[in-house]
Protein backbone atom coordinates (compact mmCIF):
# COMPACT_ATOMS: atom_id res chain seq x y z
CA UNK A 1 0.00 0.00 0.00
CA UNK A 2 1.13 3.44 -0.34
CA UNK A 3 -0.71 6.69 -0.47
CA UNK A 4 -3.94 5.92 1.31
CA UNK A 5 -2.08 4.16 4.06
CA UNK A 6 -1.35 7.31 5.97
CA UNK A 7 -4.96 8.46 5.82
CA UNK A 8 -6.20 5.07 6.88
CA UNK A 9 -3.94 5.13 9.91
CA UNK A 10 -5.26 8.54 10.82
CA UNK A 11 -8.80 7.25 10.63
CA UNK A 12 -7.99 4.24 12.75
CA UNK A 13 -6.80 6.53 15.53
CA UNK A 14 -9.70 8.97 15.22
CA UNK A 15 -12.18 6.12 15.35
CA UNK A 16 -10.79 5.15 18.72
CA UNK A 17 -11.47 8.52 20.29
CA UNK A 18 -14.00 7.79 23.03
CA UNK A 19 -17.37 9.53 23.20
CA UNK A 20 -17.14 12.90 24.85
CA UNK A 21 -13.40 13.12 24.41
CA UNK A 22 -11.20 15.02 21.96
CA UNK A 23 -7.61 15.03 20.78
CA UNK A 24 -5.35 17.17 18.64
CA UNK A 25 -3.93 16.80 15.16
CA UNK A 26 -0.41 16.83 16.49
CA UNK A 27 -1.06 13.94 18.89
CA UNK A 28 -2.47 11.83 16.10
CA UNK A 29 0.52 12.61 13.92
CA UNK A 30 2.79 11.65 16.77
CA UNK A 31 1.10 8.30 17.18
CA UNK A 32 1.60 7.63 13.50
CA UNK A 33 5.29 8.22 14.01
CA UNK A 34 5.40 11.49 12.12
CA UNK A 35 4.86 14.29 14.65
CA UNK A 36 5.74 16.87 12.01
CA UNK A 37 2.92 15.87 9.71
CA UNK A 38 0.19 17.35 11.86
CA UNK A 39 -0.98 19.49 8.98
CA UNK A 40 -1.38 16.45 6.82
CA UNK A 41 -3.56 14.89 9.50
CA UNK A 42 -6.04 17.69 9.03
CA UNK A 43 -5.66 17.29 5.31
CA UNK A 44 -6.58 13.64 5.73
CA UNK A 45 -9.76 14.63 7.55
CA UNK A 46 -11.02 16.23 4.40
CA UNK A 47 -11.07 12.82 2.83
CA UNK A 48 -12.51 11.37 6.04
CA UNK A 49 -15.72 12.59 4.64
CA UNK A 50 -16.19 9.26 2.94
CA UNK A 51 -15.94 7.45 6.24
CA UNK A 52 -18.90 8.28 8.52
CA UNK A 53 -17.31 6.21 11.27
CA UNK A 54 -14.60 8.82 11.68
CA UNK A 55 -15.63 11.34 14.35
CA UNK A 56 -13.76 14.25 12.82
CA UNK A 57 -15.51 16.66 15.17
CA UNK A 58 -13.52 15.20 18.04
CA UNK A 59 -10.29 16.42 16.52
CA UNK A 60 -9.26 19.98 17.28
CA UNK A 61 -6.00 21.87 17.33
CA UNK A 62 -3.67 21.88 20.29
CA UNK A 63 -5.45 24.86 21.86
CA UNK A 64 -8.81 23.14 21.83
CA UNK A 65 -10.09 25.44 19.11
CA UNK A 66 -12.50 24.15 16.50
CA UNK A 67 -10.33 25.18 13.60
CA UNK A 68 -12.04 22.71 11.31
CA UNK A 69 -15.62 23.73 12.00
CA UNK A 70 -15.71 25.64 8.75
CA UNK A 71 -15.25 22.40 6.90
CA UNK A 72 -18.41 20.87 8.29
CA UNK A 73 -21.81 21.30 6.70
CA UNK A 74 -23.70 24.27 8.05
CA UNK A 75 -22.06 26.86 10.26
CA UNK A 76 -21.72 25.22 13.65
CA UNK A 77 -22.42 21.55 13.16
CA UNK A 78 -19.07 20.61 14.64
CA UNK A 79 -19.84 22.61 17.76
CA UNK A 80 -23.29 21.11 18.05
CA UNK A 81 -21.93 17.60 17.79
CA UNK A 82 -19.38 18.27 20.51
CA UNK A 83 -21.92 19.97 22.75
CA UNK A 84 -24.21 16.98 22.33
CA UNK A 85 -21.38 14.93 23.80
CA UNK A 86 -21.13 17.16 26.82
CA UNK A 87 -18.41 19.50 25.64
CA UNK A 88 -18.47 23.09 26.80
CA UNK A 89 -17.69 25.32 23.86
CA UNK A 90 -17.38 29.07 23.81
CA UNK A 91 -16.03 31.25 21.06
CA UNK A 92 -15.19 28.16 19.00
CA UNK A 93 -13.00 26.92 21.82
CA UNK A 94 -13.46 23.93 24.12
CA UNK A 95 -13.53 25.31 27.65
CA UNK A 96 -12.93 22.02 29.42
CA UNK A 97 -10.32 20.97 26.92
CA UNK A 98 -7.85 19.73 29.49
CA UNK A 99 -10.50 17.55 31.09
CA UNK A 100 -11.77 16.05 27.88
CA UNK A 101 -8.44 15.76 26.12
CA UNK A 102 -7.71 12.19 25.05
CA UNK A 103 -4.07 11.40 24.51
CA UNK A 104 -3.75 8.46 22.07
CA UNK A 105 -0.15 7.96 23.16
CA UNK A 106 -1.32 7.11 26.66
CA UNK A 107 -4.65 5.49 25.96
CA UNK A 108 -3.30 3.23 23.25
CA UNK A 109 -0.45 2.17 25.48
CA UNK A 110 2.12 3.38 23.03
CA UNK A 111 3.78 5.46 25.68
CA UNK A 112 4.78 4.51 29.18
Partner DNA sequence: CGTGTGACTAGGA
Partner DNA sequence: ATCCTAGCCACAC
- Rule CB under 7 A: say whether 79 interacts with DNA: no
Pick the binder of DNA from 12, 15, 18, 63 (CB under 7 A): 63
Distance between CA 29 and CA 37 in Å, rounded? 6
- Cβ within 8 Å of residue 80, ≥6 positions away: none
Least distance in angstroms from the C-beta of 9 to DNA: 10
- Cβ within 8 Å of residue 85, ≥6 positions away: 19, 20, 58
85: DSSP letter? T
Tell me the window of 69-77, 83-91, 100-108 that interacts with DNA (CB under 7 A).
69-77
Pick the binder of DNA from 24, 79, 87, 100 (CB under 7 A): 24
By the 10 Å C-beta count (0-12 exposed, 13-18 middle, 19+ buried), 90 is classed as exposed
Tell me the window of 54-62, 87-95, 101-109 that interacts with DNA (CB under 7 A).
54-62
- Rule CB under 7 A: say whether 4 interacts with DNA: yes
Pick the binder of DNA from 12, 15, 18, 39 (CB under 7 A): 39
Amino acid sequence: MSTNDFYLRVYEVVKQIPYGRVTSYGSIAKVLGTPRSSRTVGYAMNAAHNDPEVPAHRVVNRNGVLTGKHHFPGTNLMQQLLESEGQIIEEDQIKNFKETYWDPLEELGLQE
